[in-house]
Structure 1
């Protein structure tokens, strides 16, 4: 960049602008800073006053809460209200000392001294009188309480409230005063921009005046001179004595004007010579142009003729070689339109079936514009077919046919008859040209010849189309026959599969009783293969041989086959070789043959054994339930009747009531067993799967049965065997097993309960020394309502639901239930569950969340950050894992509050904070609940409300995990430096530094010398 001269216009203007703006900015900035400092000071004082006012309001509200708690206790006498009063009383006293001390430390605190002294004095009186009132309440002396309330306590409360209102009124007045002062200063600050705008306007006006006189006026004179020179004038400016850019511009314009005048004179001389040469060249050019126009016209005629011949040749080629009519019309009609320079075409042919005229093909029209058929033809169309001669008509176009730009006004329609080889009309071809003029005779002859060729080709194509349709119909007919054959085959196979898949046995025989068909089910039920081809009566005799008692199955069958009976429905029972009975039901129906009019007979055998067993189980269930329900009900009703209608001694009343309670409890347990089993079978039973100490569960349940029914429980239990289970349901399992062991060993005096570990499984065994289980009952032992039916068990009550419930619960825990039994020697029931394995938490991000999808999403997010994670569903699981972790601390804990199991996320956090090593582990509380009232976020504890984004979670987690732990300091509220140092030395802590504050000594300590 070339530096400007020191006396240039640009340097002068720049210097002037810089000086004006610098001076103006200095004035505005100084005024703004001054006003801002005043407003900032006022705002700080106002905020401090508002904070103090909020503290006084909170303290006033707390005093009213204390009075309300005491009044609630006096009114209702509940210990909860007394405890809340004592707690609030202590809290209020501490708050009163803090707030009054805060006011004394302020520079304006003197004006509130009297009010605070009055409040403290009234509070002291109220606290002393409240202690007396509480003692009176405990003694029940309400009259003295009312006297003290009217003389002492109410006056103290009123005095405190009045002084609180005095302080709040004074603070409100002070706040309004500061607000007025701040408002006045803000108004002055608002005027500052107006002063700035006025100053800027004045400076701009002075600058404009200077620029107008020293810069703009010379430029306007120079511009006027340049415009005159551009208009053909030659002028010279009066040269001033300026030596800046404007002076050089004036001198340059004068030099340019003189140079232009000299060049203009030279150009005029050259122009005269060029005019003479141009006239000669124009005469020669006109002669050459005439010759070129004549040659171009000849070339255009030859090109048009060649194009027409090519179009005609292409059209003739497209008249043959097509299989389908549609392809023939698509190619031939478009080629005809190109050869004749037409725009649209409609092909119409008579329909011999309907006596109408069908539109066979249309080209150049929008869809739906041409009807599919015409009932009659009129005008030129009818004349063309009748006279067998083409007709031509011109017509004006409507608005839709005028084209995109509306440039067409007329259309020319050409009607051509289509004649076959015998000159009979077979159709009509309408060609239309838009914006066309009248054609000559040559074009008419050419069009008529091409249309004649199209008519012959169309006739041949129609013949081929008819033949093709006939062939297609024959092919379709053959395909339909094949499909019908395949359909019949598929139907036959389907019927066969259906017959083979049904659970009933089916046999078909002819009118003479010869078996012609049987399904596989018959062979499974009766071994029917040996009767194939024989008579159905032989099979009936075979069945009668296995039926107990005398039956008439063969007689009934013969009656159906000879027409005496229309149908047969008979139930029968067959005794097998193994002694078991099978129950069947037989249906026989006659099936008429529509061809030969002779009936066939269908025998259907249905196995009813399971239904009979279900009826037996139902009857047994009704019997058991009626017995089990009636027995306790009868006892309850009997003793209740005695209590209602007789005078009985208190000792007997108590004994009767205990019996009633025992029987009612028995009845409730019975109903609960029914409901539990129903919930389990319907899938509505929910399980709270948590790490459970199976050793404690087994021991607690066994201790409850210790000594009942004169049985001693001998325990062999390994300590601290944990499994993942529902504690309530597992307790129910142990109660049922031990109850059965006691119930079915009436002559024994003990049972044995064992718990041991078997590799990765926990095995619980309950052994009795009683009746044992017969072999025929072992398969049904876990069936509901099943009870072994023999004489030595009839006196033992029960519904047969206990083991069924145990089986359902163990299966839901992915465990196994088995037993060993020897008749007369006792039984051992065995429950096998997988032991609980603790998750290691060291050096990992711990995700404690029972929502599987959210837990997986969080884990995937941290895995992308290459942070190892562990997912846990319950607080119990997390607490056990934390206690078992002995290496590194967890990186971070993300804890949901509402979890599976009895414990919540707060229980885990409490355990973590009490851990001697891992208490500083950062925690993110993730929950849909609001944070607790007294919850405060810390450097290691954050609260994240659901729903949240993964980005927000990762942001919080990164901040917590990247936090650098600072060296801890211990604060001792003791002013004796030597005593503090000596006490720490005794504990093995060496003092590194002492910092004496106003009320405390802050001590920095180190455990070992190597920490230096």
Structure 2
């Protein structure tokens, strides 16, 4: 067997290599399996620790969620938070059970016991008790439980415990990762050590093989060299070996050929070394180019830093633009340039004339160049022949380059365009790229400028908002120095500009405030307590401030806190002078009302007692009953005033608005007053034909009744009461003028205020509750009107009521109605007032009315609406008179059966009946006659099968 291997070098090499490969593979497989087992075990440990970390994090998040929901419930009282707390509580209990089963270490059990103890205490004791306090409104008990009983501390402790536990788990994970890294590194080191060992072993095998095979070969080589030199070799060594060396020694020719092959291999190696030398030379050249590029970049950065520094020292727009273009021209070695701020069309330039700037502004915004910049967002260069003005003393033609550089914001909005010019040369691509980078720095400066301007606008806006607030606002720091104040506080301090108060120290402004306030000691004490947070929450202080008009000021304060740090105190000064006066008026009103109600009640009780206890003559009984009736009516009027005020304040007052002429309403009021007063002369001066108003007749009557009765009541010596009806472009105006006591100037401003009565001894004798004019004002306001008064003390007063003007009120109103519902009766009448009177009469019986003053329009409407009846005047405006209207309607098959009632001053009944009129009324007549005639015809039509059922008239709810 040994001779079998000795006879062949190949067999010897194969057995050696097989042993080497076997050892190499066995070692590599063993090391690989060891590495995989190690990695899997560590990964499993990390995974378990990570699951525990996620579990604890979820438990902590649920506890935090319960804390936030409980605080949300304590803040807002919503039961939704309680339901969410219950859900989270169930999740926590389930998590604790799982935690107890899964994790058994001492540290895990300690955390479990801590959290379980907290949850049992919190969910079974603290939380139910706090919820009960919140539902009972016992906020102080909740605060006490949180602060004194340690509720908040317990929550913080258990959350801190969980957080520490999380940190411990994370540290375990980190340690496991570190162990994994160390063992992995060790495994890799062993692996590479094994490889090195195997390489060394392989080298040893090679050495052994060289020793076994190389020495004989060298000896044979020496023999070969001798043969090459021509030396005589008498003996060939190793001819007695059984392997291939013996064969080689017997075949020198093959050995010589092998030597020649080795020489060629050496030549090839020399060529390879030469190629490697060339490669090294090439790498050296690249390094030299990289060094040159680095030097260029360094120079570029230095120029950019210098440029950025030069444009970052100003926030003035014009100065900034000028600085940008000047520095850009300098560092780019340009001849001239400009920058155009797109949004505001501002421009700054260096070396550019005004005419060139104007040319740029006139043509560039509309040119294709701007569109190209916006589309590509890239700089571009335009080469052109130099202008004559740019050549100087040079006569020959040469080129100049204009570089257009866009400046975009971070939102890709075009902020500005910069143009720089090199006369006689152009810009390289590298330079253009560098300048594009500078443009980004310019964009940052412009955006910073815009941000500053926006901030300044916001500051001015906040200042304007504060100045628009009607309360005085003062912000002071913790030392009492004023940080900011608004215009209203400035007025309280008698200064012109709030900025004058900024930075004013406490001693200075408090001294000025003391000089204008009664009981200044209490006020200053309140302010000092506010600064030091000694005032109770929601407390305020009221003081009186001297001046041309005494004012009552209410002051309150709030601390300004940011990130749990007090920055200062906001003090608010609220002018409550009017409210104070109203309270005084209400107090006075109670006294007045008591007197006004008790007086008529006393009369009623007194006279009824006399009538019950005594035998009185009939005439005296009638007199007493009349007195009782008057006092009861007076009492009813007072109560109605109170009810009206209550309805108006609650918004429940209802109005039945229709179109009315105010003249009949005023005439009715005057007629009543004439009966009740024999000392006064009443006159009505009508100066307009536009007397229509859209409103509630009863409420309008109440307005004029109140105003006219006031004119009578406050002119106790008699005189003339003049009611004037006039109009301007937009309003119907009613003036009620008397010759009575008049009103002091100081009282006119409060005259229409509830419960207010003029402070005048003569007026006090007259009596009243101070509600009448307030009610009048509210009624007029609901009718889109306005009321005012002019008066001189002792010379009488003039009350002026204004309502919106309504032209052709019944026509317009009725035409609007026809678009919504059927018209029952059409009135064709050119007398506006009579048409209004007839319309009111018929609308009271539930008919829908349309009214016209020309025959042409009326005939068209009759054909469209087919009304149940027509009221027609003979003398009309327009081309058609009444007779022509009748003939036109009767000749039309669609309208011939509609009954027509003639209302005319002409006594031509027979002609009317001959033309087919259903009725004929000669003016003047009572409108009820017309209504009766129409209703009679309606009844006849009903009998004949044509039924018309008018709607019920609407009524007020008062």
TM-score range, shorter chain: 0.3 to 0.5
Taking structure 1 as the reference length, the TM-score comes to: 0.36
Between 1 and 2, higher relative CO (CA 8 Å, sep ≥ 6) is seen in 2
Taking structure 2 as the reference length, the TM-score comes to: 0.38
